[in-house]
């Protein structure tokens, strides 16, 4: 299957520095459709100044910021290189190849991963790293066909087998039991902890309270609260069953012995775990534990990323956030989410900051996703101010061969295959 095209554009500003802006144009599937109040792909206006559509709150504001300079006939404050990919929601499987192919063209002083959102105080989340991910599928087939459940004493049930395999992956406390899983974990560092401690304890408590309220959950795993919960969220590798299926799940009953069972599992990885190495360790674990006939399929992977607190782009983003939103922003050493940020930090070797302008609990990836008009407009200002501030920050990298003149030049779609 061919890759979705990566859309690339360049624009020149009056400062020789170059900022690489990353965004994505793909979205999650809209299902379940019956829960949408308006059609998911029609951008309907709704109460509280909301614009409702699939993708409404996802990676917005950055293009409009560039357009506004053009509309006002202003010179851009620095050179821009913009890439929009169409496979972020499926783990960016082709982006690393694209980055490798166009490494020279993509040379920049820093990168901005514009895809995040605001916190409960209306401040944009700013993260100096993203978690990685390893996404796999387990498939267990024990018979050619489903059978009568009276045969259960004789024929192995794949659902039980799969459950036993899943149980072998982690203990009750959440510790992953695959040998060597934590070998390359390099976080939290002292810098990570001090960055978190700079954040008011009240803020940690509040964001955890908001999370519990939103999901109507009384206690969190391990009964953690405040800073402890945040540390667990940001620095703990996870093993999550994303889907589990076997046998009859329809109305009423059916006495059946299923022939097949499968599960989808995502492992979130912290710096500096490598998904390729961990996939091999998982396969060894399954073999040793006697699950060699469970088929393991790799569905996707992303490496974790990390940018130091002292990075000039981090300073630029914080300045822009404070000016736009009027509140002192707080940078986190890591986000609990994942994305292809490592292609900038590890493959291109530039500092990268993840941020964005989506409203908090905007139903992202869920029915009735929305952005409010205010957060959308603020996001445009925020993205513009990041550009304004980036060129003022001292850069540790060379700007290379870039020309200093204002010119908009969209190179159009170029496929990463």
Residues that bind Zn ion (CB under 5 A): 58-59, 115
**Residue 32, preceding peptide bond in cis (omega within 30° of 0):** yes
190-198 and 226-235 helices cross at what angle (nearest 10)? Answer: 140
Residue with smaller CB distance to Zn ion, 88 or 109: 88
Q: In the bound complex, what is the minimum distance in angstroms from residue 271's beta carbon to Zn ion?
A: 21
Residue with smaller CB distance to Zn ion, 85 or 115: 115
Residue with smaller CB distance to Zn ion, 259 or 355: 355
How many CB atoms sit inside 10 A of residue 289's CB? 16
Q: In the bound complex, what is the minimum distance in angstroms from residue 14's beta carbon to Zn ion?
A: 31
> Does residue 168 contact residue 285 with C-beta atoms inside 8 Å?
yes
Q: In the bound complex, what is the minimum distance in angstroms from residue 24's beta carbon to Zn ion?
A: 6
Q: In the bound complex, what is the minimum distance in angstroms from residue 58's beta carbon to Zn ion?
A: 4
Which helix (H) or strand (E) element contains residue 242?
strand 240-246
Per-residue burial over 214-227, b if 16 or more Cβ lie within 10 Å, else e, is eeeeeebeeeeebb
DSSP label at residue 89: G
- Nearest 5 degrees, angle CA 73-CA 79-CA 85? 100
Residue with smaller CB distance to Zn ion, 16 or 340: 340
How many CB atoms sit inside 10 A of residue 9's CB? 17
Residue with smaller CB distance to Zn ion, 59 or 335: 59
Q: In the bound complex, what is the minimum distance in angstroms from residue 116's beta carbon to Zn ion?
A: 8
Residue with smaller CB distance to Zn ion, 192 or 378: 378
> Does residue 240 contact residue 156 with C-beta atoms inside 8 Å?
no
| CA–CA separation, 204 and 229 (whole Å) | 8
Q: In the bound complex, what is the minimum distance in angstroms from residue 114's beta carbon to Zn ion?
A: 9
């Amino acid at each position: 299957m061919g890759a979705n095209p990566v859309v690339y554009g360049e624009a020149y500003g009056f400062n020789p520095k170059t900022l690489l802006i990353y965004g994505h144009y793909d979205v999650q599937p809209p299902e379940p459709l019956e829960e949408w109040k308006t059609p998911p792909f029609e951008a309907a206006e709704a109460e509280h100044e909301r614009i409702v559509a699939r993708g409404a709150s996802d990676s917005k504001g950055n293009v409009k910021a560039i357009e506004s300079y053009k509309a006002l006939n202003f010179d851009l404050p620095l050179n821009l290189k913009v890439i929009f990919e169409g496979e972020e929601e499926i783990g960016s499987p082709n982006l690393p190849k694209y980055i490798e192919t166009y490494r020279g063209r993509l040379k920049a002083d820093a990168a901005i991963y514009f895809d995040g959102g605001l916190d409960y105080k209306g401040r944009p989340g700013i993260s100096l790293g993203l978690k990685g991910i390893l996404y796999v599928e387990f498939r267990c087939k024990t018979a050619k066909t489903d059978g009568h459940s009276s045969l259960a004493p004789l024929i192995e049930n794949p659902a039980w087998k799969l459950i036993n395999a899943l149980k072998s992956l982690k203990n009750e406390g959440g510790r992953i039991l695959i040998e060597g899983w934590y070998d390359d974990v390099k976080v939290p560092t002292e810098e990570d902890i001090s960055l978190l401690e700079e954040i008011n304890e009240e803020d940690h408590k509040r964001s955890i309270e908001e999370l519990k309220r939103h999901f109507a959950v009384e206690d969190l795993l391990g009964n953690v609260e405040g800073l402890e919960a945040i540390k667990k969220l940001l620095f703990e590798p996870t093993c999550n069953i994303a889907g589990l299926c076997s046998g009859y799940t329809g109305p009423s009953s059916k006495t059946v012995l299923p022939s097949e069972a499968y599960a989808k599992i995502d492992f979130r990885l912290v710096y500096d775990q490598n998904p390729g190495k961990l996939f091999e360790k998982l396969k060894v674990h399954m073999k040793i534990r006697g699950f060699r006939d469970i088929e393991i399929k790799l569905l996707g992977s992303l490496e974790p990323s990390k940018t130091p607190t002292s990075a000039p782009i981090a300073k630029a983003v914080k300045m822009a956030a404070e000016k736009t939103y009027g509140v002192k922003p707080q940078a986190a050493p890591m986000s609990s989410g994942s994305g292809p940020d490592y292609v900038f930090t590890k493959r291109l070797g530039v500092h990268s900051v993840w941020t964005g302008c989506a409203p908090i609990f905007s139903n992202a990836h869920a029915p009735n996703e929305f952005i409010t008009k205010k957060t959308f407009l603020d996001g445009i200002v925020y993205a513009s101010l990041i550009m304004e501030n980036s060129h003022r920050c001292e850069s540790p990298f060379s700007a290379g061969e870039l020309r200093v003149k204002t010119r908009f030049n969209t190179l159009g779609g170029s496929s990463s295959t």
